Amino acid sequence: MHLHNPLHSPPKIALISLGCAKNLVDSEILLGSAASAGFEFTSSPQDADILVVNTCGFIDSAKEESIEAILEAHQERGMRKRTGQKLVVAGCLSQRFSTELARELRNEVDAFLGLDQVAQAGQIFLSLLSDHPNPTDDPLILVQRHSRFLPDWDTPRFRLTPPHYAYVKIAEGCNHPCSFCVIPQMRGRHRSRQIHSIVNEVRLLVQQGVKEINLISQDTTYYGIDLWPTKPQPSQPLDPSRGPTLIHLLDELAQIEGDFWIRILYTHPAHWSDALIASIAKNPKVVPYVDIPLQHSHPDILNSMQRQTSRQHIEELVAKLRANIPNLAIRTTFIVGFPGESDAHFHDLLDFIQTHRFERLGIFTYSQEEGSRAAKLPHQVPQSVKRQRFHIAMQTQKRIAQQLALKQVGKTIRILADSQYSARSQHDAPDIDTKVILKKPLQPGQFHNVKIISANSYDLVAIAESADIN
């Protein structure tokens, strides 16, 4: 195979990664595969032989961002194009709309990759750069209809996060029937990795100096249940004795030597149990942080969303979490403007937010996703109403967050420094939560003790204690 490179130097790849942490892991695997095939990574698109846009297709704004990134990448390479450069689109948008995109972007894109092709991306890229011409002018579509891929601990990865934290995907896919969501159609049914595979990966990351392990999947609380000999009914409490669960995984991860945090992201309220709460409370490596998207509070909307949880269940769960996990911060998200959401439903949500005073909270406006059940529901809410409700809910949360931040002033906390002047507490996940602003520089990538001296809107301002932890 002959590459279009007269000096026979290694081919180069540049990547634009969009979307959530789960998509970022896919990007890392894609680059790992490329590196195994002999590619070198470059941050300059104009120097790349292969330019990849790893897209997000979750909601309208993400899809628009992805399309803009593809068009900008094409325009950029048109201005300063490397000879024979190929533009490849990967990720959720490609998985979901490859046929439509290939028709609309046939002059811009050379190939579309699905979610299951990331681990074979290197060989695919070499083929694209070969001397064998494409028999048609149409982009190549390399997408399997039903996604089944699951990474292992030794799957090659080129990490894109800073050296001190990493994301570990413990499962892929989703079994939930949420009416607003099309993720199961894109990423397939839930499938869990084996515990030993995850433990091996985390052990290796810790040996490499990683201080924070962020466990991710579409639903981390459902981890392992698909591996049980018989599946539980939706109404049954989860019994850890029946098979592997997140509890067993956390117990195994706790045995890994080293000083590091474990953060659990993307939990679902339907699969929490008293045993899981107790497991988190007793595990010194698991930070007291619960990420649990609740989506709404009113029974009518929860039922229409097909969330599998009642208002009563949610309130009882929040109370149990706060009562049993010391120093807990709860992060949640809500959707405003869901079809049929009345003013009364929305004000119920505002009351719920004010009552429970969540430490971290995000608001999404409902996105009418093609192929979802909710897209066909009557009484779609106008965009202007959605935007108004978004701003009201965020202003409500901003007041709560500022009040909670002021209560931290004077306390000494442990932080993980992301840079000399920016850090995060146990209550802050990378990229999505608040920061601890450092008045004096500290060593990045290490734990430190700091004293909170003021609060700046959502963020805290701190100075290192004399007995600083390194």
Question: Which pLDDT value is given to residue 8?
Answer: 60
Q: How far is CA 118 from CA 50, 82, 114, 151, 430, in A?
A: 14, 24, 7, 10, 24
CB 173 within 8 A of CB 191: yes
CA distance 293 to 58: 15
pLDDT confidence of 136, banded at 50, 70, 90? low
Question: Which pLDDT value is given to residue 216?
Answer: 98
Question: Which pLDDT value is given to residue 230?
Answer: 77
Q: 214-267 pLDDT, tens per residue?
A: 999 999 999 999 998 877 765 566 666 777 999 999 999 999 999 999 999 999
Question: Which pLDDT value is given to residue 238?
Answer: 66
Q: What is the mean pLDDT of residues 384-410?
A: 97
Average pLDDT of the chain is 93
pLDDT confidence of 389, banded at 50, 70, 90? very high
Percentage of the chain beyond pLDDT 90 is 84
386 or 456, which is more confident?
386
Q: What is the mean pLDDT of residues 393-404?
A: 97
Tokens of 130: 């070969």
DSSP string, 209-275: T--EEEEESS-GGGTTGGGSSSPPPTTSPP-GGGS--HHHHHHHHTTS-SS-EEEE-S--GGG--HH
Pairing of strands 360-365, 140-142: unpaired
- The total number of residues written for the chain in this structure: 470
Q: What is the mean pLDDT of residues 33-53?
A: 95
Region for 266 from its dihedrals, namely left if φ exceeds 0, alpha if ψ lies in -120 to 50, beta otherwise: left
Tokens of 379: 């009484």
Tokens of 139: 């982009």
DSSP string, 410-453: T-EEEEEESSSSEEEETT--TTTS--EEESS---TTSEEEEEEE
Token pair 């990865």 in the structure block, residue: 157
Question: Which pLDDT value is given to residue 233?
Answer: 65
pLDDT higher than 60, residue 467: no
Q: What is the mean pLDDT of residues 44-63?
A: 91
List of domains in the chain: 12-142 (3.40.50.12160), 165-406 (3.80.30.20), 412-464 (2.40.50.140)
pLDDT higher than 50, residue 7: no
Q: 420-463 pLDDT, tens per residue?
A: 999 999 999 999 999 999 999 999 999 999 999 999 889 999 99
Q: 335-379 pLDDT, tens per residue?
A: 999 999 999 999 999 999 999 999 999 999 999 999 999 999 999
Q: How far apart are the first and last CA of the chain?
A: 51
pLDDT higher than 80, residue 3: no
Question: Which pLDDT value is given to residue 6?
Answer: 41
Determine the longest span between alpha carbons in the chain, in angstroms.
69
Q: 203-215 pLDDT, tens per residue?
A: 999 999 999 999 9
Q: 163-197 pLDDT, tens per residue?
A: 999 999 999 999 999 999 999 989 999 999 999 99
Tokens of 29: 């695997």
CB 257 within 8 A of CB 295: no
70 or 237, which is more confident?
70
Q: 147-160 pLDDT, tens per residue?
A: 899 999 999 999 99
pLDDT higher than 80, residue 412: yes
* pTM, full prediction: 0.93
pLDDT higher than 60, residue 63: yes
- Crossing angle (nearest 10°) for helices 383-406 and 343-356: 10
pLDDT higher than 90, residue 293: yes
Token pair 């800073």 in the structure block, residue: 162
CB 429 within 8 A of CB 361: no
